[in-house]
Amino acid sequence: MMEHSVSLKLDPDGELCHEDYPSRMALKKESYCGGFLDVPQHPYSWSKPKPYLSPSLPALDWQLPSCSGPYNLQIEVQPKSHHRAHYETEGSRGAVKAVCGSHPVVQLYGYMESEPLTLQLFIGTADDRLLRPHAFYQVHRITGKTVSTASHEVMQSNTKVLEIPLLPENNMRAIIDCAGILKLRNSDIELRKGETDIGRKNTRVRLVFRVHINQPNGRTLSLQAASNPIECSQRSAQELPLVEKQSVDSYPATGGKMMLLSGLNFLPDSKVVFVEKAQGSVFSESSCEGFPEEEVKRKRRDPQRDEEQGRKRKRKRKRERQTNNNNKDTASSDVL
């Protein structure tokens, strides 16, 4: 049986009343389970997610915006759609390249302070789910004489993160020529507790960039930008041709000029289709057959030089025939 003690006092009218305390609450009769059944209302209203603003850095699987207020983190030059990743037992296959032949470029806009910042880079997923660190691929630090961007690796939650300086004297712009892609063994990852991905089916990645900006209130604003998908499997990358560069962007429909296409996965029987559209529908269409680069080089040669080289080859073959005939005559005389 529960016992309660109550302090009483007499009011000026001579009646009993409860003694007043600053935190006095009215007593009521309760059962043993009464307090466990009450569900309090949440004091906050859930609204649209806002840019992450916190004194601590967010986890790598947090979804962050690319712009907030005056700040905007942009990938100025996107990487190529294919990069052959390397295993730990293989040599490096170099840094990820851009379509134009150089390397990806990242820039932070709106930052006017004189203090440099750190740009973080890790390998993320490229499927339809939320962006998160990739289980089967990691970033790989590239070094050498041709690498112009300084960097170093750190581990964060079993994920390699490449840290690159963003300097105000470079307009907060960084050329990413120091990042390769490392492929982990499928068997090592698939045996992890809770891992449901299959390495052979998950070969597309993104380059994920993050920057953390200190605010006057002592907090940190974090921005994130992810690149276009990159195919890391050699098998999948050989399925479709990829045009990386072309020598002509426009020309009259009468033709008569040669266009050079540079890219990957071109076959000897590949064809180029030219389509002219009018008001959203196909107006005319024509195609031409491509030819290997060796034939292009032959077609670009000087005709006079080619003719002279042809005469030299004929004279050389004639001398070889004469030499062979002389050797045969010498052998016959020795026999006689």
β-pair partners for 245 = 262
Q: Identify the CA nearest to 232 among candidates 75, 81, 88, 100.
A: 81
Write out pLDDT tens, residues 225-283: 999 999 987 654 445 666 777 788 777 777 777 888 877 667 766 777 777 666 555 45
Extract the residue ranges of the chain whose pLDDT is less than 70.
Answer: 1-55, 128, 190-200, 234-242, 264-265, 268-269, 276-304, 328-336
Give the whole-angstrom CA distance, residue 139 versus residue 153.
Answer: 9
Give the whole-angstrom CA distance, residue 124 versus residue 121.
Answer: 9
Q: Identify the CA nearest to 102 among candidates 178, 30, 177.
A: 177
Give the whole-angstrom CA distance, residue 126 versus residue 100.
Answer: 22
Containing 107, the helix (H) or strand (E) segment is strand 105-109
pTM greater than 0.85 (yes/no): no
| Per-residue model confidence (pLDDT) at position 189 | 76
Give the whole-angstrom CA distance, residue 303 versus residue 308.
Answer: 9
| Per-residue model confidence (pLDDT) at position 32 | 45
Break the chain into its structural domains and give their ranges.
53-237, 242-297
Identify residue 99 by its one-letter amino acid code. V
Mapping DSSP to helix (H, G, I), strand (E, B) and coil, where does residue 297 land? Answer: helix
Write out pLDDT tens, residues 185-211: 887 776 665 555 655 678 899 999 999
Give the whole-angstrom CA distance, residue 252 versus residue 316.
Answer: 45
Domain 53-237 listed as CATH 2.60.40.340: yes
| Per-residue model confidence (pLDDT) at position 24 | 43
Mapping DSSP onto H, E and C, the string for 48-83 reads CCCCCEECCCCCCCCCCCCEECCEEEEEEECECCEC
Give the whole-angstrom CA distance, residue 303 versus residue 2.
Answer: 113
